[in-house]
């Protein structure tokens, strides 16, 4: 894996070679990754894995024709062959009136924000193993926990560099650490499983073994002996670990590509009130130690914090340069890409702002409802917003969370769900998309 300086130099050299080969414009991206992961199960080491890899990708333009190629061989000979292949492919490609690099005046030119994405730590495999064993031991120590699917801890680092023929050439590094454990409670047909996990940029921020193991055990034990839930229309409350998926559906629907292709249930609703007035959803690519923080996007455009929904009202779309051209708008600094292909658009660190009431107050007036802790399947229509997913969780009775339930289905339409959505005050920054406990009115629930 190259250093940032060397990765920048390699991308810049690839751009120069592309211009020499007759390209009108080009960009190059380098991604190098290295990670170590340790898996344990039932108190014994199960697997240790070390992976390292690096690739470089070139997108080359001849007029409005373009081609993308990539290689894991970074030698000079391989990169020259890569350029020749891309140039030949581009000349045969169909014209795309919306293709091209990001506007030069939108590129990051100053030093950019320090997002504290890399802590410089490098924990040894022995330390990762000890941590994984401790997590599982704590989870398995709870009475009623009968088996384990294992625990794991990983540590990794990435180097990203981007260069364009507009003169942009920048790179940065990120570190990443995660811990997880999954355990089983009960026996025979009454077994229930659940898990706990945590991912961070700085090793010092990773949950200690005790709270992570305890949470997994408590979740599995709480699911024992599920009751039956009568079908009907009722309020549904989403735990934060699943409520983030509702914001995920919003993010998919406001990408420039979805709007340009007319495949979004939010088409034509820009600047309309979609949520209740108290709901604000913010994208912040500059959050220190954020899981998706970055100083520039995948086209070199400067990133900046932005409200995606402000006081219930949609503020616009997430756009890369191509979709922005197609819609007659400007890129928003949300381009994402891998090594191959053209950029698309996506959000970074997203929060749905905390409400003013506690979780207990949010559910306190619910006579009969459902508290969802797990969602199953992908039954969401992105064009119409129709929503139907399998779920499990707990019955809410007279304002209290009571018996567990499983194998049920919840259904509605995302527009109706967004319109009635209310938030508690328990927002925590543990994921890329963070939400507090959320309540949605009038969902159709089909019991087991």
> How confident is residue 175, by pLDDT bands cut at 50, 70 and 90?
very high
> How confident is residue 104, by pLDDT bands cut at 50, 70 and 90?
very high
CA distance 249 to 256: 14
CA distance 387 to 252: 14
Sheet holding 192-200, edge to edge: 65-71, 44-62, 25-41, 145-164, 169-185, 192-200
Map out the domains of the chain as residue ranges: 4-220, 226-448
Model pLDDT for residues 52-74, shown as the tens digit of each residue: 999 999 999 999 999 999 999 99
- Return the percentage of the chain with pLDDT > 70, whole number: 100
CA distance 109 to 434: 30
91 closest CA partner among 71, 70, 69, 64: 64
The mean per-residue pLDDT over the stretch 379-402 comes to 96
**DSSP states along 371-429:** EEEEEES--B-TTT-EEEEEEEEEEEETTEEEEEEEEEEEEEEHHHHHHH-EEBS----
Torsion on CA atoms 180, 186, 191, 196, rounded to nearest 10? -20
Average pLDDT across the chain, whole number? 96
CA distance 356 to 439: 13
Q: How many CB atoms lie within 10 A of CB 5?
A: 10
In this predicted structure, what is the pLDDT of residue 35? 97
In this predicted structure, what is the pLDDT of residue 378? 85
Model pLDDT for residues 262-315, shown as the tens digit of each residue: 999 999 998 889 999 999 999 999 999 999 999 999 999 999 999 999 999 999
In this predicted structure, what is the pLDDT of residue 143? 97
Angle, helices 76-92/4-20, rounded to nearest 10 degrees: 50
CA distance 239 to 431: 13
In this predicted structure, what is the pLDDT of residue 448? 64
In this predicted structure, what is the pLDDT of residue 125? 96
Model pLDDT for residues 33-54, shown as the tens digit of each residue: 999 999 999 999 999 999 999 9
In this predicted structure, what is the pLDDT of residue 340? 85
In this predicted structure, what is the pLDDT of residue 260? 95
Model pLDDT for residues 124-160, shown as the tens digit of each residue: 999 999 999 999 999 999 999 999 999 999 999 999 9
In this predicted structure, what is the pLDDT of residue 188? 86
- Which three-class secondary structure state does DSSP give residue 265? coil
Q: Which two tokens stand for residue 59?
A: 């997108």
155 close to 130: Cβ distance less than 8 angstroms: no
In this predicted structure, what is the pLDDT of residue 271? 83
In this predicted structure, what is the pLDDT of residue 18? 95
In this predicted structure, what is the pLDDT of residue 341? 85
**Of the listed ranges 73-77, 354-358, 395-399, the one predicted with least confidence:** 73-77
pTM for the predicted model, two decimal places:
0.95
CATH class in words for 4-220: alpha beta
In this predicted structure, what is the pLDDT of residue 291? 97
pLDDT at 342 over 80: yes
pLDDT at 10 over 90: yes
pLDDT at 377 over 90: no
Model pLDDT for residues 182-209, shown as the tens digit of each residue: 999 998 888 999 999 999 999 999 999 9
> How confident is residue 22, by pLDDT bands cut at 50, 70 and 90?
very high
pLDDT at 112 over 90: no
């Amino acid at each position: 894996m190259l250093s940032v300086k060397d990765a920048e130099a390699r991308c810049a050299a690839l751009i120069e070679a592309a211009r020499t080969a007759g390209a009108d414009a080009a960009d190059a991206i380098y991604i190098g990754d290295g990670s170590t992961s340790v898996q344990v199960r039932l108190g014994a080491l199960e697997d240790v894995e070390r992976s390292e890899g690096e690739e470089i990708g070139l997108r080359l333009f001849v007029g409005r024709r373009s081609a993308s190629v990539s290689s894991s061989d970074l030698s000079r000979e391989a990169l020259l062959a890569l350029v020749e292949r891309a140039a030949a492919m581009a000349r045969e490609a169909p014209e795309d009136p919306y293709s091209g690099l990001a506007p030069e005046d939108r590129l990051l030119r100053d030093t950019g924000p320090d997002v504290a994405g890399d802590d410089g730590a490098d924990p040894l495999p022995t330390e990762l193993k000890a941590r994984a064993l401790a997590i599982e031991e704590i989870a398995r120590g709870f009475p009623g926990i009968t088996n384990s699917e294992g625990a794991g801890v990983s540590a990794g680092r990435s180097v990203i560099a981007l260069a364009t023929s507009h003169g942009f050439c920048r790179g940065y590094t990120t570190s990443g650490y995660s811990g997880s454990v999954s355990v089983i409670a009960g026996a025979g047909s009454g077994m229930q499983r659940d898990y706990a996990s945590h991912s961070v940029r700085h090793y010092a921020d990773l949950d200690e073994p005790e709270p992570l193991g305890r949470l997994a055990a408590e979740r599995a034990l709480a699911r024992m002996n599920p009751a039956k839930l009568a079908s009907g229309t009722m309020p549904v409350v989403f735990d934060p670990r699943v409520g983030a998926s509702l914001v995920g559906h919003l993010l998919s629907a406001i990408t420039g590509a979805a709007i340009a292709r007319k495949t979004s249930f939010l088409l034509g609703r820009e600047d309309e009130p979609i949520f209740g007035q108290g709901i604000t959803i913010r994208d912040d690519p500059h959050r220190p130690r954020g899981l998706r923080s970055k100083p520039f996007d995948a086209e070199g455009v400067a990133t900046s914090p932005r409200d995606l929904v402000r006081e219930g009202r949609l503020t616009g779309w997430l756009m890369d340069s191509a979709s922005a051209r197609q819609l007659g708008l400007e890129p928003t600094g949300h381009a994402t890409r891998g090594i191959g292909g053209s950029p698309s658009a996506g959000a970074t660190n997203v929060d749905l702002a905390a409400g003013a009431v506690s979780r207990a107050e949010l559910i306190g007036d619910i006579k009969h409802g459902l508290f969802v802790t797990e969602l199953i399947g992908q039954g969401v229509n992105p064009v119409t917003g129709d929503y139907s997913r399998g779920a499990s969780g707990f019955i809410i009775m007279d304002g209290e969370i009571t018996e567990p339930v499983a194998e049920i289905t919840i259904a509605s339409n995302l527009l109706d769900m967004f319109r009635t959505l209310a938030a508690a005050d328990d927002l925590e920054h543990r994921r890329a998309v963070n939400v507090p406990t959320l309540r949605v009115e009038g969902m159709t629930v089909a019991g087991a």
